[in-house]
Amino acid sequence: MHSSPRLHFLLAFIGMALMGLPLWNMLHPSAAARPASTSAAHIEQEKVPAVLTVRFTGKPGTLRITDRNGTIAVLPPGESSPWETDIELPQDRRTAEWTVEAEWPAQTDPHGNEAVTLELEPPASDARSATRWSAGSKLLDTFSFTW
């Protein structure tokens, strides 16, 4: 007894369709399996406390530390070096990239340079430190930390 070509075709088609189901599911996930469409900026991250020590030469009139999400710290008027402040770091990140803007009042030597040092003490990690020098009476530079 011989089987018909139609039966062979039907069995082959069913077999191929069954083998293709996993591929179809990978390429077309169900609505319940899709991640929520929220931007990273709106996701609330857990924060952990850290200590930031700011050292500087001279007496800056203004000193502001920011990152892409906003202001981290602003030097209070009349504060002397070193200045310590408590900050919060995202718990799941092991890097920080901050912009420091500082300006010193008019100096007698217009070519004199001033310095700012940031010392970050992340939780459960060694302290990290970086120093940048101004060009004249202004500083605008990026500090990057990895721990």
For the chain, list residues with pLDDT below 50.
Answer: 42
CB contact at 8 A, 119 and 131: no
Take residue 81 and report the two structure tokens written for it.
């070096």
0.85 surpassed by pTM? no
Q: Would you state the pLDDT for residue 54?
A: 94
Q: Would you state the pLDDT for residue 28?
A: 79
* 89 closest CA partner among 116, 119, 121: 121
Q: Would you state the pLDDT for residue 124?
A: 82
Q: Would you state the pLDDT for residue 22?
A: 82
Q: Would you state the pLDDT for residue 74?
A: 94
CB contact at 8 A, 102 and 55: no
* 51 closest CA partner among 102, 11, 89, 107: 89
Q: Would you state the pLDDT for residue 36?
A: 57
